Chain A
Amino acid sequence: MKKLLIALMTTTAALSLAATAEAQEKLKACWVYTGPIGDFGYSYQHDQGRLQVEKELGDKVETAYLENVSEGPDADRAFERLAREGCKIIFGTSFGFMDPEVKIAKKFPKVMFEHATGFKTGDNLGIYNARFYEGRYVLGQIAAKESKKGLAGYIVSFPIPEVVMGINSFILGAQSVNPDFKVKIVWVNSWFDPGKEADAAKALFDQGADIIVQHTDSTAALQVAEERKLHGFGQSSDMIKFAPNAQLTSLTDEWGPYYISRVQAALDGTWKPDNVWLGIKDGAVKLAPYTNMPDDVKAMAEATEKKIAGGWNPFTGPIAKQDGTAWLKDGEVADDGTLLGMNFYVKGVDDKIPGR
């Protein structure tokens, strides 16, 4: 038995050596997704970015990915496995991968790591994110124009800064149009549970909301809106096929250009850990075609989009915190650090952040 084991081990070692020798000139770029790439949402969009890298850089790279990796101890193993398998640059695409990635990056100093939506960096760990809140401000404005009752339902996953920032930006946008606009919030404590998202949408509609916004990844909530002949916004990818009469627009992300530039830098040997936050102006945050709304609302949305692309930040004062205390003075713009660690609501949100 022991002999057999040793023989097996030597063979695998020889095999893997051969594999590395052959793949030496190719750079292996790897991705870790929290959801299935078939979610047609967040993980799907990241995978589209990976495919663009393959297409653009062709023979120079080899890509691999792990999907459905849960946030937590499982993630440690996922990153370690990829690093051991010879990945030279690894992209972790979910907030919950932050600590595992920090840990594994220390263990493999020669591998380049990138983490999306987090805030911890290292010598070989860079971070990147998209300014989704810019798009959410536009959604807020559209909602305030389109809602007859002045009430939107908002389905959210986990109380992390990214989500809180989105809620704040949405309400700022909505109240810039209708100061009395209200939003009802339901936390489903999951990124992806179609059944629960649908049930949450039903509950919100039953309580009088006539527009649904989501910070979860499935199409379920929009489908409920379609069934009830009400409206809503898609998330991560264009969901118009699921709700041709209900979707007003969809907040989508496009990671391809960023991934290409980073893998190229890794190829050139110029890669350094950076900290970028891409927005509408970089083409990383996109709004799907405006549908099911009158022309004047569409014009307003386009104008706001343009204004944000021109450098205007939705978090520009005067803005008060939820309890009424001042946060930003007139004309003052929130700094990125505060936004990335945002754990408070602005005035106008009628909810309590869970756990605070």
Chain B
Amino acid sequence: MNSEYLISIIVSTVVAATPLIYAALGELVVERAGVLNLGVEGMMLVGAVTAFVIGSTSGNLFLAYVSAALAATLLSLLFAFLTLTLQTNQVATGLALTLFGLGLSAFAGRNFAGLPITGLKPLVIPLLSNLPLLGPLFRFDPLVYGSLILFWAVHRFLHRTHAGLKLRAVGESPSVAHAVGQPVIRIRYLAVMFGGATSGIAGAYLSTALTPMWVEGMSAGRGWIALALVVFASWRPWRVLAGAYIFGAVWIGQLHAQAFGIPVPSQFLSSLPYLATVVVLVLISRNKRLTMMNTPASLGQPFVPDR
């Protein structure tokens, strides 16, 4: 195996992992605030269709991403209103949001299926992209670099800022946070909206970068993978990042293994990315005390502020 080939595998891996990173980091912030939003898949699809519709009619991909984030945020607001204001069950509402997003996106995009679109262009970093061998690593599209910035920002925010501490406190014990005067519901609203925006961007990445097209159900379960990543990464940003890349690497690796003609049943290879990600993340989260500390204690529980 030559090194050029290895680089091409790395490039495919990073691209495959990017939508997962956006969706999972957003959901991580949501869950850290104590809210479980199972509607990631639905929000991704709404983001995907919005980005495609706006991108193909206006030709402006920046606008496409902004509107995708906005549309998915709107959908997440619906979720927030139902679960935070009306106190509905978060699991049921999240599942409903996924189904709603699936149907809504299919309806909104019915006239756009089967149309081509010019996909996202790579952002070529001067000098570095001309390096022999390593050059391709500096020719990713802007969203790939953006995912790393987002990771850094989420990590800093949660663990190094006052606001992040408040958010975590709300997820840990909303009644205590409320008692010391924190606006629990408002913080949760903002967290849910952030999760909506990143899911929208993740979806937009699918329909304008990874596979520039719109077809209903095109996320094919990636929203659920992002959700699982957050849990198995025990709510730590860097583990989410690692998990997404492991998943991407095994996902791409199994396709290469098949093309090499490795005599392992393809059904088994197809299940490997899921298996490997779970095993690795469970191994790195095996310290029970640390995991307990990171699990938002009020996850999924409604909170009614007493007056």
Taking beta carbons and an 8 Å cutoff, which residues of A are in contact with B?
36, 38-40, 44, 68, 153, 184-190, 192-200, 202-204, 206-207, 209, 218-220, 223, 227, 237, 241-242, 350-352, 354-355
Residue of chain A at shortest CB distance from B109: A38
On chain B, the residues within 8 Å of A202 by CB distance are 8, 12, 252
What CA separation (Å) do A190 and B12 show in the bound complex? 20
B188 at the binding interface (Cβ < 8 Å)? no
| Contact residues on B (Cβ < 8 Å of other chain), bracket | 35 or more
- Find the residue from B106, B211, B252, B260 having the highest chain A CB count within 10 A: B211
B212 A223 Cβ-Cβ under 8 A: yes
Given contact pairs A185-B258, A223-B211, A355-B267, enumerate 15 new A-B contacts (beta carbons under 8 Å): A38-B216, A40-B114, A44-B114, A184-B261, A186-B259, A192-B215, A192-B217, A194-B220, A198-B210, A203-B256, A206-B256, A227-B119, A241-B114, A242-B116, A350-B261
The answer to whether residues A187 and B216 also contact, given A38-B110, A206-B12 and a CB cut-off of 8 A, is: no
The answer to whether residues A36 and B215 also contact, given A189-B267, A199-B251, A206-B8 and a CB cut-off of 8 A, is: yes
Q: What are some 21 contacts across the A-B interface (CB < 8 A)?
A: A38-B109, A38-B215, A38-B216, A184-B259, A184-B260, A185-B258, A187-B267, A189-B270, A192-B220, A194-B213, A194-B218, A195-B211, A203-B255, A203-B258, A206-B5, A207-B259, A218-B211, A219-B213, A237-B114, A351-B261, A352-B261
A220 B263 Cβ-Cβ under 8 A: no
Residue of chain A at shortest CB distance from B258: A186
Residue of chain B at shortest CB distance from A204: B259
B72 at the binding interface (Cβ < 8 Å)? no
A354 B267 Cβ-Cβ under 8 A: yes
Task: With both chains docked as a complex, state the minimum distance between the C-beta of A180 and any C-beta of chain B, in angstroms.
Answer: 17
What CA separation (Å) do A351 and B206 show in the bound complex? 31
A220 B211 Cβ-Cβ under 8 A: yes
Q: Which of B106, B109, B265 is A354 in contact with, Cβ under 8 Å? A: B265
B113 at the binding interface (Cβ < 8 Å)? yes
B116 A195 Cβ-Cβ under 8 A: no
Q: Which of B222, B256, B258 is A195 in contact with, Cβ under 8 Å? A: B222
Q: Which of A185, A195, A355 is B206 in contact with, Cβ under 8 Å? A: A195
A195 B220 Cβ-Cβ under 8 A: yes
B163 at the binding interface (Cβ < 8 Å)? no
Task: With both chains docked as a complex, state the minimum distance between the C-beta of B84 and any C-beta of chain A, in angstroms.
Answer: 32
